[in-house]
Every structure is written in structure tokens, then in C-alpha cells.
Structure 1
Amino acid sequence: MFKKITIQTDERGLHFRKGSYVKLLQPGTYRFLPFSEETVTLLNITKPFAVQGKDLKLFLQDEKLVQELDVIQVHDHEYVLHYEDGKFAALLAAGSYAFWNILKKHTYIRVDIRNPELPAEIDSAVLPKLIGSYQAFDVGNHESGVLFYNNVMQRELGPGKYYFWKGPVAVAVKTVDLRQQQMDMTGQEMMTEDKVTLRLNFVCQYRILNPLRALQIKSFEEQMYIQLQLILREYVGTLKLDDLLKMKQEIAAFVLSRLNEKSQEYGVQFLSAGVKDIILPGDIKDIMNTVLLAEKKAQANLITRREETASTRSLLNTARLMDENQTLYRLKELEFLEKICEKIGTISLGGGGNLLEQLNSLLGEKGASG
């Protein structure tokens, strides 16, 4: 009895004698002596070529076998994306691979991961199948990104999503916010020219224009804060307290001008600045309140005297006109009489005659006595 082996259409056989590879067997039926040391390993040609316990190089001497295989060598610094009939099949890391080229068409994209950025020809739909092999970075619409390879700055990145291979090159993306930002200085103690110590609350708005420059400065925000502090100390130290309180707007204009002299150095544009509060020591505040109260009292007294003088002058002018014009005097009497009548309910007059005659008589007697 012979030992019969049948190889199907979608299979290939590898003939071994005493454990050593002999040749490739095509589909068909093969017979071997029952006690011979001939063995056949069957491989499915729809799957990658692999023989357990055997290195691929042992089979590459067979030219007929090699004609039916795609042999791929992937170096340490490479990835190979393997596609079968146009569909992604696998990501091949460093090593040797072989695929049967009989039933399926195999294509490959070879990438050098020493250049970490994923090439444009890799469809984003494939990325979920590559998880663990790449890393992604997001740059927001209001941000600018700066790309680093092994801590060396490469270029600026606009808004978007970026993908990089995990490999020998360490990749980092640092983002910079390009929106308007605010720097607050709160409770900063300063001394005026007349040795008054006060606390100042100051605010400044700015926008980063040069992200690369901003990232080159260590402790970027802290350095700008110190610069603002120095400018304020310089300005406040040249003014007396009274002048400082009168010139709050001038402080903002001066500081903004000086900051913009440093704008290129920091890669920013300073937009606005202003004093929020000037906080005085308690004793100085009490003194200023006392002075303010005295000033207000003096102003009130001055206004009262002016009103009294104006009233007296008005009375004097009225009296002079009435003395010179009897008709005006008579009209004034009637005005006062009208006001008296508004205040009383009834008027009783004695003697004969009607009411109008008695009033005329009363006014006439008063005018004569006057």
C-alpha cells in the first residue's frame, strides 16, 4: 500500500525527505512508499506562506516556489502596509514575509518611520486598524502647533489633526493659544516718589503673533509679568501720590507703549492695558478722607454764601425798583394780598359800603401811610 496525499486546487505541498525540503508540489495526487521518510506539508494559498519551525530562507532556493510567492523584507526602520486585492490586510513590522501570489493580488506601501509623519497615500479609513503603531495630535481652530522631532523644532502646524508613526524618533506637538489673553497683576506693592507705599491692581490684554518665538522663551508668561512689573515700578516711582491719583489714564498709555517696544522680543501684540484699583494704606486713606471732607465743607459754605449774596442783591434791586415805580409797588401789594387770600378762609371788614370799596379803602390808607 502506498501512502497517498491529495493536494487541492487552493493548496500547495512542500515535499520533505528526512526533514529536509525537496521541492514544491502542485495540486494533484501523490503516492509515497508507506515506510519511506517522505513527508508533505500542505499550505493554503489564501493565507501567508509560513512553515512552523522552518525559516523562510530555507525555501527561497526553490525557483519554482519563489515564482509563486511575493517575498517582502521589512527593515528595522520600516513599516509595510500590506493590501490584498486593494483591501488593507496587515501592517508588517521588521522581519521577512512571503505571500502566495496565485489567487490574490498583493500590493504594498513601504514607509520609513525615521520620517515619522504618515504619508498622504495612507487612507484615513485604515487608521483604526493601525492603533498602537501611530500617535495623533490635535491643533484647535484657535491654536497654532509647533512640531518637534527628538526635541528639535521642525515647523509650525496649522489647525487640524496630525498622525505620526511610533518609532525611533520621539514626536511632540506643543500648541499655543492665539486668542486674546489677559495678564492680571493683583495687589502689587509699589512706592511713589514721596515714599507712600500702595498696592496696585493692573490688567493687560495681549495676543500671540509668533508662536515659534513664544515657545523659545522659558516661562513665557512669567517673563512678561516681570516686564510689566518693572515698567510699573519705573513709572510709579517718578510720581507723587497726588499726581499718581490724577494720572491713572496716563499710566495705562505709558505702560502699553513700553510693552509694545518689547512685542517683537516676545512675539506678541499688546492690545490694551489699564489700572483696575489703587489701594492706599489705612492711615493715608483716613488722611485723604479728612482732607476730602474739609474740601467739601468749604465748597458747601462757599455755595451758601454765594446764594445768600445773590438773594440779598435781588431783594435790594426789587426794593429800588418799587421805590422808583409806584405802579410796581401797587402790583406787589396786590401779589401779597393774593397770597394772603390763599391762606385764609374768610375776610371780615366793618363799616358801610361794599367789599370792593372797603378793600380799596384799606389799600389806599396803607399806601398813604407808606
Structure 2
Amino acid sequence: MTHVLTRLIDRLTGHTRVTVMETERLLVLERGRIATILSAGEHRLKRKDTVTERHDLNRLRFTTPYEAALFRERPDLAEAHLTEVRAGEDEVLIVRRDGRLHGVVLAGDREVLWTDAGPWAVERLTLTDTLAVERKLGKALVRAGLGHVLTIWDVAEGHVGLLTVDGVLKGRLEPGTHAFWHIGRGATVRMIDLRMRTHEVTGQEILTKDRVTIRVNLTAVYRVTDPERAVAAVKDYTEALHRALQLAFRRTLGALTLDTILAEKGAVNADAAEAVRAEMARIGIEVGEIALRDVILPGEMREILNRVVTAEKEAEANVIRRREETNATRALLNTAKVMAENPVMLRLKELEALEAIAGKVERLTVHNGTEGLMTDLVKLRE
């Protein structure tokens, strides 16, 4: 009966009743102006010229088109129900709810939270010129699903990272994972490989002193010793090494004849390598072994050289053959002299010949004894 009577009175007086749950708040505007923010419970409102806006505390943030008007016209209501978090231009705010990470407010931004959705705690971090994030905090932000506020770079083993902020080199990053605040300013990392590497120059055409066009293949072993200087001194240190190898060997080989290049390839390597090492050391690159790996001749030049080599080898073979024939003749002459002076030696030679023949036939018949064997009749039967 009381409930019915209350409703009747409200209707007669132009009021209505609304219920606000524990997890809700009700923003009330009367005649277009912010009147109040209602907490949990039953409330009596004027029906005419009243607008309400219901908010869910589980959404945590206070989001409404009336936000600016609320802070301007009713700062008392804002202070009673809302927590405003505003970051300066050189700081980042870590917002925690009941001890757990809730969000991050980046430099120059703000966030308005329902105070009753807390308790809230705010940690202020001053931005460094590198925008670096402490490693433990970075991992916690990623686990909390807040990785979008970070720029993460992984530096592999054997590499070093050069950190640049807004185009200015800030320092060197060792192997590992590094995080930086993503606040509009660009934090970029350039990876530099510090390991020994091989660079090859293939098909380089060079005109020798005797006007023969050759193509050479070069190889060089190098590593970066001063990453900052290598990046600052040239646009691309690998391209700089490539160009240094080309120019050094072009100058060295162009001053030599083809025969000298083919005969003294090791000396050519040493002369050109010293020039390359000196030039690259100035930009922080250490160059190790440099080798003139291949010298490729034009087709007609290869045929000419092949004929020359063939003729040289044939001449060498003829000399060796004549030398051996002379030695053999001299040995026969010496043997003949020994046999002429020693009949017993001649007899032994006869027996050796007989033994050789006997080993190749089935039956051997000798007439008139063994004396005069080589001058008398020897009959062979198969």
C-alpha cells in the first residue's frame, strides 16, 4: 500500500524513481546542466527536463561527452567520484589497480577513472633521452597485454644494436631484448654483425698493362670493430669495402702485364690488400685475408696460352727423352766394354738370355753341349 501511495505521489508531483546498482553510477542533468552523480540505491528524480546517463564501473574509465563540462562546472563532483591521471611532457605514468598493472598513460596524455572502481596507484617515470624501459617493467607490461605502448627490439648473439632516437645516435645495445616507450618519437635500432664475414667481388673486368682484358674474382674476410664509426662514416660499409677492393685491384693489376699477374699472384694480393686494409681501418672495419681467387682470360687468349704451354711441355719432353736415350747408349757402351774385357761376364749374359727363353717355351733342346751356345744351332720345339 505504501509503495502504491509513493508511486501515486511521485506521479502527482512529477517525479520518478530510479535504482542504481553497486556496480553503477548515474550522471544526472537537469535542464541541460550537470546536477549530480548518484551512487548505489534508489533515487527520486524530477521527470521533466531531466536526463540521466548510466555508467558501468567495470569499464573503469569515465567516458562521456559531458566530461569537460563536469570538470569545468562541477569540480566538486569530479573530485568526489573520479580520479584524473595526467602525464607531463617528459614522463610516463604506470597505473595500478589494487596492486596490479592496469594501464599506461604516455607523455602528454590523460585518463579519467572511476574512483570507486579502484583503489588506484600511480607511478611516475621520467623519460630518458633514450626512451628506454627497464627490462623487468617491460616484461610485466607485455604479460599484462600492454605491449602496444612499447617498441621492442631483439639483438642477437654476435651482433650489436645502434640505438637512434629522432635521427640522433644514442648508444649501443648488447645482445638481448630491449624495450622503448612508443610515444611518437622514433626509437630505431640498427643491427650490426660483429662476426667475421666473407665478401666477394665477382666478374671484375680489368685491362692489364699489355692491353689484355681479364676478369677476376676477389674474396675478403672482414669484421666490424667500431660500429659507431662504420655507420657514421659511410652510408653502407659493405658497399664501401666492395668499392675499395675493386679500386685497389684495378690499380694494381692495371700496372702489370698478364705474365706477371699469372706468375706472381701472391705478391699482387699483398700489394692490393695493404691498400684496402688501410682504407677500411679508417671507418672501423678490420680486413683479414684478401685473395685474388680467379683470373679468367678471354677465349682467344686461353687458346694462345694453351698452345704455348703445350709447346713448352713438348720441348721439355723431347729434352728428357734425348737425355734418357743418351744415358741408355752410354750404359750399353759401358756394358760392351766390360764383356769384351771379361769373357766370364759374356758367358753370364748368355745364360741369362737362355733362362729368359726357357721360361717362355715348353721344351728346349741343346746340341753340341753348352759351349758355343750362342754361335751353334739352337733348336726350339713347342
1:97 aligns with 2:112: yes
Q: Deviations over 1:29-59 (max 9, x none)?
A: 6667x67989987766664456662434147
Does the CA contact (< 8 Å) of 1:114 and 1:167 recur in 2? no
Q: Deviations over 1:179-215 (max 9, x none)?
A: 3322222222223333333222221121112221221
SS of 1:360's equivalent in the other structure is coil
Unaligned runs of 5+ residues in structure 2 are 1-8, 377-382
SS of 1:164's equivalent in the other structure is strand
CA distance in 1, matches of 2:136, 2:358: 107
Could you say if the C-alpha distance between residues 274 and 17 of structure 1 is closer, same or farther in structure 2, counting changes exceeding 3 Å? closer
Q: Paired residue for 1:154? A: 170
Does the CA contact (< 8 Å) of 2:350 and 2:374 recur in 1? no
State which of 133, 149, 166 in structure 2 corresponds to 1:118: 133
Offset, 1:125: 3.5
State which of 150, 164, 169 in structure 2 corresponds to 1:134: 150
Unaligned runs of 5+ residues in structure 1 are 351-357
Structure 1 window deviating more from structure 2 (44-53 vs 145-154): it is: 44-53
State which of 141, 159, 168 in structure 1 corresponds to 2:184: 168
Q: Deviations over 1:101-158 (max 9, x none)?
A: x573211233456853334462514226224433222222232211111111111112
State which of 253, 264, 272 in structure 2 corresponds to 1:247: 264
State which of 226, 236, 243 in structure 2 corresponds to 1:210: 226
SS of 1:122's equivalent in the other structure is helix
CA distance in 2, matches of 1:144, 1:158: 5
SS of 2:359's equivalent in the other structure is helix
State which of 200, 204, 209 in structure 2 corresponds to 1:193: 209
State which of 193, 196, 210 in structure 2 corresponds to 1:180: 196
Counterparts of residues 11-160 of structure 1 (less than 5 Å): 20=33, 47-48=60-61, 53-55=66-68, 56-58=70-72, 61-62=75-76, 66=79, 69-75=82-88, 79-92=92-105, 94-100=109-115, 104-111=118-125, 115=129, 116-120=131-135, 122-127=137-142, 129-160=145-176
Q: Paired residue for 2:3? A: none
Q: Deviations over 1:55-107 (max 9, x none)?
A: 341476439x736653322346654332111122233452352431x573211
State which of 302, 305, 314 in structure 2 corresponds to 1:297: 314
Does the CA contact (< 8 Å) of 1:114 and 1:168 recur in 2? no
Offset, 1:310: 1.0
Does the CA contact (< 8 Å) of 2:138 and 2:179 recur in 1? no
CA distance in 2, matches of 1:364, 1:5: 149
Taking every aligned residue pair, what percent have the same amino acid on both sides?
29
Q: Deviations over 1:232-279 (max 9, x none)?
A: 122223322222111112222222222222232121111211122112
Does the CA contact (< 8 Å) of 1:23 and 1:62 recur in 2? no
Q: Paired residue for 1:325? A: 342
CA distance in 1, matches of 2:360, 2:111: 122
Counterparts of residues 237-276 of structure 1 (less than 5 Å): 237-276=254-293
Q: What residue identity is the alignment partner of 1:270?
A: V
Could you say if the C-alpha distance between residues 29 and 313 of structure 1 is closer, same or farther in structure 2, counting changes exceeding 3 Å? closer
State which of 234, 246, 258 in structure 2 corresponds to 1:229: 246
SS of 2:370's equivalent in the other structure is helix
Q: What residue identity is the alignment partner of 1:62?
A: D
Could you say if the C-alpha distance between residues 105 and 196 of structure 1 is closer, same or farther in structure 2, counting changes exceeding 3 Å? same
Does the CA contact (< 8 Å) of 1:138 and 1:160 recur in 2? yes
RMSD of aligned C-alpha atoms?
3.4
Q: What residue identity is the alignment partner of 2:114?
A: F
